[in-house]
A = this chain, B = another copy of it.
Amino acid sequence: MLRHLLRRNDAKIILLVMDGLGDIRTAEFPKTPLEAARKPNLDALAREGLCGRSQPISYGVTPGSGPAHFALFGYDPLAGENDVGRGVLEVLGTGYELERDDIAIRGNFATIDSNGILTDRRAGRIPHEDCIRLCAKLQDRIAEIEGAKIVIMPVREYRFGVVLSGIRLSPEVEETDPQLTGKAPLAPVARTPEAKRTAGIIAKLVDQCNAILAGEKRANAVLMRGISRKPSIETLQERTLLRPAAVAAYPLYRGVAKLCGMDLVDTGFSIREEFETVRSVYGKDYDFFFIHVKKTDSFGEDGNFEGKAKVIEEVDANLPLLLDLKPDVIVVTGDHSTPCALKAHSWHPVPFLIHSKACGIDNARAFTESECDRGGLGVFPATAIMTLALANAGKLKKHGA
């Protein structure tokens, strides 16, 4: 980012991210979901806009959701300071204000059998109401361990967050999740001598939680993951002079947005609700709106082609809610690809479109992978997206005389 080029103006930018949007054609899947979906509004944007394929990290590198979003927001996804623990992201995503020395943990409610062997790492995906009830139950009986204050908060379904506050804490502790059923949860192991105290506190916390949960049918144990501390990251306001708002329903994405300095706006989960939320704050003093649509990724991970195509159609059907706002710049892309054929995140570059008065019209005739391959941007680094958006919004001055 070329800071000396930045200038403020009133132009507004919408960044619409469909998680895991990119897909691939294979013998088994001769079309991609974007190719199969009926989506006249997105196709019109692509036809009148500029297209390409954004590469989240590098050739052949499959990103997790955190790094993929950091890249979208213009941060180097491989830089050490941007390698943020999942615990931090989930806790921030709940709206909790982490302090610099706090330790954040992402917890899973899980099921163990009478021998202490894991039978379900997600406690049968208990409903969110159970998550709230169980977190309250744990918090009610656990306030402090060895001088460290303990805060336990619901995240979503089987996921919860834990914050340890106090002196002499360290995030250098291994997770307790063995990642497989049929094994007992692991002990929290300190990676450094300084982390021994923290590992001991987490071990006691796990024991106390499991004792309190002993009567539960499904959520009778906890796993501790992503033990981490909030890094000091330059905010988007500092880096771009933007005044950013995030409309994302899922905690992880809210966490990344929060860490980058965005205001988190409360929103419902459906696409329509998210777009209505954007409309409700559009007139305020924001000039950048990050919108996160989750389900394209979820269906991709399930290999559910129809489901993924339907989400794209739902986005398209609701798109007029955003287009009626007449944003100066609208970007539509994904954070990474999640091909139905692979049922997992992948390294394939992501369909991308940008639309503004200044974008220039290219050869792409629709918003699909293969048409984006014909676009004027070629394959380009996702970290360039913010710069392109700023340029199209007239928020960058000329470099040099």
Tell me if B362 and A58 are in contact (CB < 8 A): no
Question: How would residues 331 to 358 of chain A score, 1 for a CB under 8 Å from any chain B CB and 0 otherwise?
Answer: 0000000010110111111000000011
Indicate the size class of the contact surface on chain A.
35 or more
CB <8 Å contact, A25 and B360: yes
Which of B24, B359, B400 is the one whose CB lies under 8 Å from A64? B400
Q: Which of A363, A378, A396 is packed against the most chain B CB atoms within 10 Å?
A: A378
Contacts of A64 in B (CB 8 A): 398-401
CB contacts (< 8 Å) of A61 on chain B: these are 2, 5, 387, 391, 396, 399
Q: Give how many copies assemble into the complex.
A: 2
Report how far A377 CA is from B342 CA in the complex, Å. Answer: 19
**Does A161 reach chain B (CB closer than 8 Å)?**
no
Instruction: Give which listed residue, B62, B339, B387, contacts A60 with CB less than 8 A.
Output: B387
Q: Which residues of B contact A2 (CB under 8 A)?
A: 58, 61, 78
Tell me if B373 and A374 are in contact (CB < 8 A). Answer: yes
Q: Smallest CB-CB separation from A384: which chain B residue? A: B59
CB distance from A202 to the nearest CB of B (A): 19
Say whether, besides A391-B60, A398-B62, A346 and B358 are in contact (CB < 8 Å).
Answer: yes
Pairwise interchain contact A373-B362, C-beta atoms closer than 8 A: yes
Q: List 19 A-B contacts (CB under 8 A).
A: A5-B61, A25-B360, A25-B361, A26-B361, A59-B391, A60-B392, A60-B396, A61-B391, A63-B399, A67-B400, A68-B400, A341-B357, A342-B358, A344-B398, A347-B391, A369-B376, A373-B376, A378-B379, A379-B380
